[in-house]
């Protein structure tokens, strides 16, 4: 029970007593107290004589560092909706943005407007005005204005747009020099990594040599190369996954950068085993490459429909692409490229359009095509035309017997390795969100607990200490003297996810308290509306 003081922000000292403390380092749980002052942990352990303005009796609760979500797409939606309850109720206190090479700084105003339009199927119709150009200006928008701490990876797309634009060309020597200067400045201004999305545009247009060049800058700054690996459309899916991973590892080897592989999860329909899937990682480590990876606990993904078009169609950017679709030119090639290369064989659902009353939201694209009497590729083009390119996509679940048990068994095997962490890949702007937006972290902890797959302290380390170290987040991810007071208090057996593919926006339960920089963003189970998040690096 709390006594004295308000349930909102902090004044003076806050004492959390009698908690089961899992500190994020991997050390076993201990019973003890936390004393918080001015946003940091002043003391931790058995503190019988400690005095405070507020006291929380945490008997029966587990105290952990706030979870670090290593992969989110909140780059605009968090500014529009600064209290992200979907993530707070999962115990998340810090998110890593700028993922898949897709974000908005440093971009000129013109390129910001262009890229906002291009990414509207992913990030929605953002309301925040264009008011920044540099990484530091963009990061400042998230400082004490949102509920969560934010780290920002420098997006590869910004380098391409600011030099070569939406063109499938190698960068010239002058363009490489300018891009390198932008990246170096971005790290000076607090970028936490260099991110690429090599299945997205204009990132796809880059060759390996270009990525090695930029990753050398990341290595010099002591920051990771963070990558959604390349899809080589001409190859079978199992082969492009392996070839994309091998390219990422070669970039790390040649540049000296730490490689962090985004959302590289179990593929029970493609690989016979986890060791087969990650064999390139094992051999790269033998050559001295530093590698970590991330995963989310669901067997289907979420993206936007534009990526289903063949690479050549994206040249010139969203305006040229929409004009191409509406002109009817190269229609057959567009349809063939969609159907042969990129549409999920498991069915794709429309997860976002600007008008929810349009009649297509939540429906499978193959059903829409059948109803209209056209091919799937033609239906995709029609939807992109009708909704000005703003169409989100939720992948259907593969129709595979025992999919969930097989997937979860492989997921547990990945998490037992010690080099995997958790990124929800949340897309909060979607009108029909993926359940990972609401359930990722309690789902992972619940699965590991139910299967007795990892001790609680090791599981918590994967969600806190490991990502803090990987992204260089100073004084985050651990409960210790001097660290920032990002603290989750929850009832382990009741900390549960409820989001499903049928009901994806059901919030997690079982989290009683959540502190961000010492301020309660959840107090006695209720969201407070406080905005103590900092731009961190």
Q: What is the pLDDT of residues 342-388, one digit of tens each?
A: 566 568 999 999 999 999 999 999 999 999 999 999 999 999 999 99
Residue 116 shares a structural domain with residue 219:
yes
How far are the Cα atoms of 9, 249, 342, 373 from residue 83, in angstroms, in the given order? 15, 37, 35, 43
Same domain, 339 and 276: no
Model pLDDT, residue 501: 93
- Measuring CA to CA, which residue among 259, 275, 258 is closest to residue 267? 275
Q: Are residues 185 and 322 in the same domain?
A: no
Q: pLDDT (tens digit, 9 = 90+) per residue, 250-264?
A: 999 999 999 999 999
Whether 314 is in a domain gets the answer: yes
CA gap 348, 343 in Å, rounded: 7
pTM above 0.75, yes or no: yes
Condensed to tens digits (0 to 9), the pLDDT of residues 430-487 reads: 999 999 999 999 999 999 999 999 999 999 999 999 999 999 999 999 999 999 999 9
Average pLDDT value over all residues in the chain = 93
The reply to whether omega before 202 is within 30° of 0 (cis) is yes
Q: What is the pLDDT of residues 222-237, one digit of tens each?
A: 999 999 999 754 444 4
In the structure encoding, which two tokens stand for residue 136, read together?
A: 């530091």
Is there a domain that residue 26 lies in?
Answer: no
Q: Is 188 exposed, middle or buried (0-12, 13-18, 19+ CB in 10 A)?
A: exposed
Shared domain for 202 and 330, answered yes or no, is: no
* Residue-level pLDDT at 267: 75
Residue 209: CATH number of its domain:
3.20.20.140
Interior CA angle at 93 toward 103 and 32, to 5°?
A: 160
Q: In this structure, is residue 134 part of a structural domain? A: yes
Q: Which has the closest alpha carbon to 395: 425, 364, 418?
A: 364
Domain closes at, from 395, 414, 434: 395
Among the candidates 453, 473, 493, a domain finishes at 473
Residue 537 lies in a domain: no
The dihedrals phi and psi of 237, each to the nearest 5 degrees, come to -60, -45
**The CATH number of the domain where 387 resides is what?**
3.30.1490.130
Q: Are residues 411 and 296 in the same domain?
A: yes
- pLDDT (tens digit per residue) in 58-91: 999 999 999 999 999 999 999 999 999 999 999 9
> Is residue 213 scored above 60 in pLDDT?
yes
- Asked, for residue 315, whether it belongs to a domain, the answer is yes
Q: Do 332 and 357 share a domain, yes or no?
A: yes
315 and 261, same structural domain? no
CA angle 490, 443, 33 (to 5 degrees): 20
* DSSP-assigned letters across all residues of 468-486: HHHTT-TT-SS-STTSB--
Residues 128 and 254 in one domain: yes
Looking at residues 90-115, what average pLDDT do you find? Answer: 97
Three-state secondary structure readout of 369-400: HHHHCCCHHHHHHHHHHHCCCCCEEEECCCCC
**Same domain, yes or no: 410 and 429:** yes
Task: Convert the pLDDT of each residue in 129-167 to its tens digit.
Answer: 988 999 999 999 999 999 999 999 999 999 999 999 999
Task: Give the DSSP per-residue string, 395-453.
Answer: EPPP--TTHHHHHHHHHHHHHTTSSEEE---B-TT-SS--THHHHHHHHHHHHHHHTT-
How do 62-65 and 487-490 pair as beta strands? Answer: antiparallel
Q: Give residue 369's domain range.
A: 310-395
Q: Is residue 7 in a domain?
A: no
pLDDT above 80 (res 341): no
Number of domains, the chain: 2
Q: 41 forms bridges with which residues in the sheet?
A: 36
CA dist 485 → 48, 171, 413, 447 (Å)? 20, 44, 32, 27
Indicate whether 190 and 274 sit together in one domain. Answer: yes
Residue 469 shares a structural domain with residue 357: no
Q: Is the pLDDT of residue 401 over 90?
A: no
Cis (ω within 30 of 0) for the bond into 106? Answer: yes
> Which of these three, 339, 370, 395, is where a domain ends?
395
With respect to residue 85, please indicate whether it lies within any of the assigned structural domains: yes
Task: Let me know whether 352 and 448 are in one domain.
Answer: no
54 within some domain:
no
Cα separation of 31 and 53, whole Å?
22
């Amino acid at each position: 029970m709390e006594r004295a003081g308000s349930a909102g922000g902090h004044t003076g000292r806050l004492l959390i007593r009698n908690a089961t403390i899992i500190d994020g380092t991997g050390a076993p749980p201990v019973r003890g107290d936390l004393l918080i002052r001015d946003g940091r942990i002043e003391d931790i352990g058995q503190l019988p004589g400690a005095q405070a303005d507020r006291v929380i009796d945490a008997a029966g609760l587990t105290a952990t560092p706030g979870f670090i979500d290593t992969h989110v797409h909140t780059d605009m939606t968090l500014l529009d909706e600064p209290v992200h309850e979907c993530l707070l109720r999962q115990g998340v206190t810090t998110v890593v943005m700028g993922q898949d090479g897709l974000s908005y700084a440093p971009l000129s105003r013109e390129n910001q407007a262009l890229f906002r339009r291009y990414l509207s199927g992913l990030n929605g119709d953002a309301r925040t005005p264009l008011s920044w150009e540099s990484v530091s200006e963009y990061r400042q928008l998230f400082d004490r204005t949102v509920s969560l701490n934010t780290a920002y990876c420098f997006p590869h797309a910004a380098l391409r747009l600011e030099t070569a634009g939406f063109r499938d060309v190698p960068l010239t020597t002058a363009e490489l020099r300018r891009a390198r200067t932008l990246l170096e400045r971005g790290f000076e201004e607090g970028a936490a990594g260099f991110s690429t999305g090599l299945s997205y545009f204009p990132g796809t247009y880059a060759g390996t040599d270009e990525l090695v060049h930029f990753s050398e800058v990341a290595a010099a700054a002591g920051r990771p190369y963070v990558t959604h690996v390349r899809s080589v459309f001409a190859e079978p899916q199992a082969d492009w996954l392996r070839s994309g991973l091998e390219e990422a590892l070669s970039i790390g080897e040649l540049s000296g950068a730490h490689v962090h592989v985004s959302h590289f999860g179990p593929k029970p329909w493609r690989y016979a085993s986890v060791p087969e899937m990650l064999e390139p990682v094992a051999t790269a480590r033998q050559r001295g490459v530093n590698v970590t990876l991330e995963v989310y606990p669901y067997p289907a993904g979420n993206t936007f429909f534009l990526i289903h078009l063949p690479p050549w169609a994206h040249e010139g950017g969203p305006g040229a692409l929409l004009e191409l679709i509406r002109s009817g030119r190269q229609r057959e090639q567009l349809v063939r490229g969609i159907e042969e290369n990129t549409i999920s064989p498991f069915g794709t659902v429309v997860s976002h359009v600007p008008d929810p009353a349009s009649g297509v939201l939540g429906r499978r694209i193959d059903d829409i095509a059948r109803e209209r009497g056209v091919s799937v590729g033609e239906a995709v083009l029609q939807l992109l035309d009708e909704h000005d390119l703003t169409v989100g996509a939720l992948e259907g679940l593969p129709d595979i017997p025992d999919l969930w048990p097989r997937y979860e068994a492989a997921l547990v095997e990945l998490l037992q390795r010690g080099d995997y962490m958790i990124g929800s890949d949340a897309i909060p702007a979607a009108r029909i969100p993926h359940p990972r937006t609401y359930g990722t972290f309690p789902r992972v902890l619940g699965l590991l607990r139910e299967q007795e797959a990892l001790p609680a302290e090791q599981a918590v380390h994967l969600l806190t200490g490991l990502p803090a170290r990987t992204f260089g987040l100073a004084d985050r991810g651990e409960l210790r003297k001097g660290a920032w007071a990002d603290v989750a208090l929850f009832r382990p057996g009741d900390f549960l996810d409820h989001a499903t593919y049928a009901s994806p926006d059901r919030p997690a339960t079982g989290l009683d308290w959540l502190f961000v920089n010492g301020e309660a963003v959840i107090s006695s189970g209720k969201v407070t509306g406080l905005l103590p998040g900092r731009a961190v690096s």
